[in-house]
């Protein structure tokens, strides 16, 4: 057994990253300065979008996208229950109503047929999530949206570096949201980004993150202007130059990071495919996952233990497994506010009972990967039922 706990996710920060941050600390700009623009430009180029607007977190980026998408009280937006609460919360921030649609059994991404059934005359947007790094079914979702004049805000917090039909995630939806939390493919500590090809959305996003002000401090200084105008009710959601310096460096390693995650995923698949007690995450032919997570599903009928016992057994082996996600509608806030009782979204709920995320991050060593495989073998063999 391992001597120390292997976390399910972890950042990788090298000496050059640290030096880049130190250099900014010695410069004139700590917050919105040249590094913000540099990071945004490099990011837009990398994903193939016309615009990239940075935010202080993925959650702030989601809030801004919901605002720019025009969500308002009385509107509905269709999203998945199989996500982190922030995806649905951004709809509530705008006073609109999240309407969940169940997920597909294979990828646990939004099922387009279920989305179609949930669309009403009040629907304004669809918010698919690229669960675990696997792109959502974007073509059918975009078709539903196009037919009805809806906006697609893709939560790609898991999917930087992923592809769908050979196109980069970030270049496909009306707006795509990313997170740079430390467990993600690149990190800025906290941080987020929205990419879009729509100049109007980009302008609104920039204003929204800066108190609704129509020009930023650097522009005003370079133009010698004291004047500014607050034109909408925004927030201070700016990402700092300190963070962006880290982001610029991290972005250069994105391909390497995604390739390493893919290699780990392939190794897990190879080593665990012989176990009928688990269902491994699928990758559809049109998709290249960026493998943010490696969620396995337990086939409980082939085990003598439930998920909680298997989870505890793996933790006892010092494997820092996790669970992604408690379906959003089952959280007390959503139950109390909207009356969910469980049973509304059977595919997501049954998946939740069976899910365990194995450690997955680009900094894992071969030894770490071996430790996970060995522990999973041991626990599954121990709890395997005879049938
Ligand atoms: C799917 C999803 N959406 C949104 C977020 C929120 O991002 P952040 O933590 O950067 O606010 C996360 C979290 O990490 C996430 O996993």
Res 75: pLDDT: 98
* 249/77 Cα distance (integer angstroms): 36
Q: Which segments of the chain have a pLDDT < 50?
A: none
Q: Which residues share a beta bridge with 195?
A: 52, 176
Among 16, 72, 184, 284, the active-site one is 184
Q: Whose CA is nearest to atom 7 of ligand 1?
A: 58
Res 228: pLDDT: 85
Of the candidates 184, 207, 211, 206, the one whose C-alpha atom is nearest the C-alpha of residue 195 is 206
Q: Is 87 in the pocket of ligand 1 (CB under 6 A)?
A: yes
Res 32: pLDDT: 93
Q: Are 278 and 297 in contact (CB under 8 A)?
A: yes
* Strands annotated E in 186-307: 192-196, 278-279, 287-288, 294-298
In the reported structure, the alpha carbon of residue 29 is separated from the centroid of ligand 1 by a whole-number distance in angstroms of 27
How is residue 355 written in tokens? 């899910």
State whether residue 232 is helix, strand or coil: coil
The string of DSSP codes covering 301-315 is GGBSS-HHHHHHHHH
Q: Are 60 and 236 in contact (CB under 8 A)?
A: no
Among 54, 82, 84, 131, residue to substitute to test ligand 1 (most atoms within 8 Å of Cβ) = 84
Q: Is 250 in the pocket of ligand 1 (CB under 6 A)?
A: no
- φ, ψ of residue 145 to 5 degrees: the values are -65, -45
What residues contact 57, with CB distance under 8 A and at least 6 apart? 179, 181, 190, 191, 192, 237
Catalytic status, residue 184: yes
Q: Please, what's the largest Cα pairwise distance for the chain?
A: 78
How is residue 206 written in tokens? 């920039």
Query: pLDDT of 138-196, one tens digit each?
Result: 999 999 999 999 999 999 999 999 999 999 999 999 999 999 999 999 999 999 999 99
**H-run or E-run covering 219:** helix 217-223
Among 83, 89, 179, residue to substitute to test ligand 1 (most atoms within 8 Å of Cβ) = 179
- φ, ψ of residue 358 to 5 degrees: the values are -80, 155
Of the candidates 76, 20, 26, 78, the one whose C-alpha atom is nearest the C-alpha of residue 243 is 20
* 221/142 Cα distance (integer angstroms): 41
Q: Is 357 in the pocket of ligand 1 (CB under 6 A)?
A: no
Query: pLDDT of 35-81, one tens digit each?
Result: 999 999 999 999 999 999 999 999 999 999 999 999 999 999 999 99
Res 226: pLDDT: 76
**H-run or E-run covering 152:** strand 151-155
Res 217: pLDDT: 63
Q: Is 157 in the pocket of ligand 1 (CB under 6 A)?
A: yes
């Amino acid at each position: 057994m391992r001597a120390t706990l292997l976390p399910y996710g972890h950042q990788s920060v090298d000496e050059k990253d640290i030096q880049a941050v130190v250099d900014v600390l010695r410069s004139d700009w700590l917050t919105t300065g040249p590094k913000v623009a540099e990071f945004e430009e490099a990011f837009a180029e990398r994903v193939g979008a016309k615009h990239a607007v940075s935010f202080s977190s993925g959650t702030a980026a989601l809030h801004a996208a919901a605002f720019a998408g025009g969500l308002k009280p009385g509107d509905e937006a269709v999203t998945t229950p199989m996500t982190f609460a922030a995806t649905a919360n951004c709809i509530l921030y705008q006073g609109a109503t999240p309407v969940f649609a169940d997920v597909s059994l294979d990828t646990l991404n939004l099922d387009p047929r279920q989305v179609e059934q949930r669309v009403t005359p009040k629907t304004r947007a669809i918010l698919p999530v690229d669960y675990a790094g696997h792109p959502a079914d974007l073509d059918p979702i975009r078709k539903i949206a196009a037919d009805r004049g809806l906006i697609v805000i893709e939560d790609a917090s898991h999917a930087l570096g992923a592809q769908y039909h050979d196109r980069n995630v970030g270049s496909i939806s009306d707006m795509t949201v990313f997170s740079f939390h430390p467990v993600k493919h690149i990190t800025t500590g906290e941080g987020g980004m929205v990419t879009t090809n729509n100049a109007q959305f980009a302008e609104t996003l920039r204003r929204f993150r800066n108190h609704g002000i129509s020009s930023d401090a650097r522009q005003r200084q370079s133009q010698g202007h004291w004047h500014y105008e607050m034109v909408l009710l925004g927030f201070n959601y700016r990402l700092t130059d300190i963070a962006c310096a880290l982001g610029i460096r991290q972005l250069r390693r994105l391909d390497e990071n995604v390739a390493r995650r893919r290699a780990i995923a392939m190794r897990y698949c190879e080593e665990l495919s012989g176990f009928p007690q688990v269902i491994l995450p699928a990758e559809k032919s049109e998709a290249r996952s960026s493998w943010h997570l490696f969620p396995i599903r337990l086939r409980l009928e082939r085990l003598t233990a439930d998920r909680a016992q298997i989870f505890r057994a793996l933790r006892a082996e010092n494997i820092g497994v996790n669970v992604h996600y408690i379906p959003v509608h089952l959280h007390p806030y959503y139950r109390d506010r909207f009356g969910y009782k469980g049973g509304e979204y059977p595919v997501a709920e049954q998946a939740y009972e069976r899910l365990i995320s194995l450690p997955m991050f680009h900094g894992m060593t071969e030894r770490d990967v071996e430790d996970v495989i060995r522990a999973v073998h041991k626990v599954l063999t121990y709890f395997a039922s005879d049938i």
